[in-house]
Structures are given as structure tokens and as C-alpha cells.
Amino acid sequence: MAENRLNRDLESREKKTRKRSWSRPETLPTPDPQDGWSFKWVRVSTRGNADPTNVTSKLRQGWEPVKALDHPEIELAVVENDRFKDNVVIGGLMLCKAPQELVDERNGYYRDQSRNQMHSVDNNLMRESDPRMPIFNDRRSKVTFGKG
């Protein structure tokens, strides 16, 4: 009985693999990650109108345009803007990169700004509180399920 079996090395699983399902393509491709760098898409135009104010603002913040030659994994069909012809521009958005330390510092700055604003709102709210009718500032949420 054992003589009729085929050797397992001769069997192939290629025919047994599942057919790949369709998934919606991404509008903006994700570049290959690089150590120490963070990527961001920056608006260079809206409805065909250039937005130089936004571009210069992001460049002053430390974002650098990414060259198309540095990321061959991103396929470009058409050069949309002659000003940024060497860069990766898709749908009015240009791929830029910045050092991760700079991005972390920026995120920390805005996190502190937000925290300070919340403290200010809380202080203003508690200033209006009266001992006869106190204001409770409870920012906790609780999930409950119905009893069905």
C-alpha cells in the first residue's frame, strides 16, 4: 500500500493557494520607510491653482521635497507641475521628508500647547464654580451595554 504514494517533495502547493482578492488601490502610495526620517504629503495645488503659501510654510518647518529618483517604488505616470518636475507629486500633493527628531519635537510642542489650553479652560470653568452648586469636570467616559 505504501508503494503507491508519491514523494512529498514532488507535490506542489502552488495550485492550492487562494486566489488573491481585489482591494481598492491607494490614492497616495506609501514610500519605503527610512531610518530616522518621517514622510508627509504636502499640498502644492488645489483644483489646479498653485498654493505657494502652504509649500513655503512646510519648507520653513523643515520638510524637504523628495526626489523621484530616490523612491523608484513610487510610479509616476505624469509630471503635474514643471516647478516640481524632479519630485514626487501626485494629485496636487508633493512627498516631503523631515528628520524624525524634528517631527517628534513639533508633535511635543503642539501637545504642550493643547494641554495648556485645556488647563486654561479648566481654570476658567472652575473660577465660575460656586460651593452651593459646584461644577463637576469629569472627563472620563464609560461604556455600558444595554440589558436586553
Number of domains in the chain: 1
d(CA 45, CA 73): 24
DSSP 60-125: HTT-EEPBGGG-TTS--S----GGGTTB-EETTEEEEEEEHHHHHHHHHHHHHHHHHHHHHHHHHH
Residue 6, domain member (yes or no): no
Tell me the pLDDT tens digit for each residue of 99-135: 999 999 999 999 999 999 989 988 887 777 777 766 7
Q: Given a cut of 70, is residue 78 above it in pLDDT?
A: no
Residue 58, domain member (yes or no): yes
Residue 124, domain member (yes or no): no
Band the pLDDT of 50: cuts 50, 70, 90: confident
Tell me the pLDDT tens digit for each residue of 9-33: 666 666 566 777 777 777 788 888 8
Model pLDDT, residue 107: 94
Residue 21, domain member (yes or no): no
Residue 112, domain member (yes or no): no
Q: Given a cut of 80, is residue 79 above it in pLDDT?
A: no
Model pLDDT, residue 114: 94
Residues 6+ apart with CB under 8 A from 45: 51, 80, 81, 92
The boundaries of the domain holding residue 79 are: 31-100
Residue 64, domain member (yes or no): yes
* Grid coordinates belonging to 74: 513610487
Report percent pLDDT > 70 for the chain.
Answer: 80
Residue 72, domain member (yes or no): yes
Residue 82, domain member (yes or no): yes
